[in-house]
Amino acid sequence: MTTSGAPGTGRTAGSRANIARQQRFWTRNARSWDHGAGDNPGLVKVVERVVAEARPAPGQRVVDLGCGSGQLALRLAPIVGSVVAVDVSRTMIDLLESHASAAGIGNVEGRALPIEHLDLAPGSVDLVVSNYALHHLRDPDKAAAVRQAAGWLRPGGRLVVGDMMFGRGADARDRAIISSKLALLLRKGPAGWWRIAKNAGRFLLRFQERPVSMNAWVEMFTAAGLVDVVAIPVVNEAAVVRGTKAR
């Protein structure tokens, strides 16, 4: 898998500011995410659903966008040929590399780089996956990442995205997810009320988390020319969307 060098997206002032914010946030929080992710049953279910929808096979060249400390990349590596694992936080990539070497996994290449700047040769990849990362991108950068991924895939290759997927209350699923999140936090008393205030700010101002609905993801996949696009709700807020590059 070669890189063609010319970076594509993420060059506006808004994108640059977001990339810098994500880098700071995730460098600060890398160890606690690394520590907690494996014990979170909801997250594990989403990772497993991404793997199932990806149908990984021996010899495949795989890219994991926003790989964190390797929750998906290290799950796929023993099955496939190679994995390029990309994350904006150097600390996450360091954790991924140390987990890979502890597990004797030698076919994962970590790249500390924003997704928005990754540029690979067209048709050079069999599978692009991402878990719980793309909601951190600005909406135009999400669509650009899907278009870029579609371009990297060989005909018949797959893009599979697992993420929190809900809008701001336009449909019944959105409203059910938002109310269940609120109910959970309310039950925690004053600590939960503080989280509600903080999360409402993040959600309304969309400066840290920018989830969009399953339908919005389906539209992005379809607009990028992917076919057989399917959206699968997994747990509460989380869903998986997959699509295939036409042959």
**CA 106/CA 140 separation, integer angstroms:** 35
Pick one of 66, 151, 157, 211: the residue that binds ligand SAM (CB under 6 A): 66
Q: How far is the CB of 27 from ligand SAM (least distance, A)?
A: 8
Distance CA 209, CA 138 (A): 9
Please report how close the Cβ of residue 189 comes to ligand SAM at its closest, in angstroms.
26
DSSP per-residue string spanning 88-155: S-HHHHHHHHHHHHHTT---EEEEES-GGG--B-TT-EEEEEEES-GGGS-HHHHHHHHHHHHHHEEE
Residue 217 touches ligand SAM, criterion: CB under 6 A: no
Q: Which residue is nearest to ligand SAM (CB)?
A: 68
DSSP string, 32-78: HHHHHHTT-HHHHHHHHHHHHHH---TT-EEEEET-TTTTTHHHHTT
Q: Provide, rounded to whole angstroms, the least separation between the CB of residue 134 and ligand SAM.
A: 8
Would you call 2 exposed, middle or buried from its count of C-beta atoms within 10 A (0-12, 13-18, 19+)?
Answer: exposed
**Sign, CA torsion 166/169/173/178:** positive
Rule CB under 6 A: say whether 116 interacts with ligand SAM: yes
- Per CB under 6 A, the list member of 53, 87, 163, 174 interacting with ligand SAM is 87
Residue 215 and residue 231 in contact, taking contact as beta carbons nearer than 8 Å: yes
Q: Nearer Cβ to ligand SAM, position 154 or 236? A: 236
Cβ proximity to ligand SAM: between 68 and 243 the closer is 68
| Of 38 and 123, CB closest to ligand SAM | 38
Contacting residues for 104 by C-beta, under 8 A, at least 6 apart: none
Query: For residues 28 and 104, what is the distance between their CA atoms, to the nearest angstrom?
Result: 27
Q: Nearer Cβ to ligand SAM, position 66 or 243?
A: 66
Residue span binding ligand SAM (CB under 6 A) among the ranges 98-106, 126-134, 182-190, 201-209: 126-134
The only residue of 1, 8, 37, 99 in contact with ligand SAM, by rule CB under 6 A: 37
Under the criterion CB under 6 A, does residue 19 sit at the interface with ligand SAM?
yes
187 Cβ partners below 8 Å, 6+ apart?
none
The reply on whether position 213 binds ligand SAM by CB under 6 A is: no
Binding mask 131-150 for ligand SAM (x = CB under 6 A): xxx--xx-------------
Which residues contribute to the site for ligand SAM (CB under 6 A)? 19, 22, 26, 33, 37, 47, 66-68, 71-72, 86-89, 92, 114-116, 131-133, 136-137
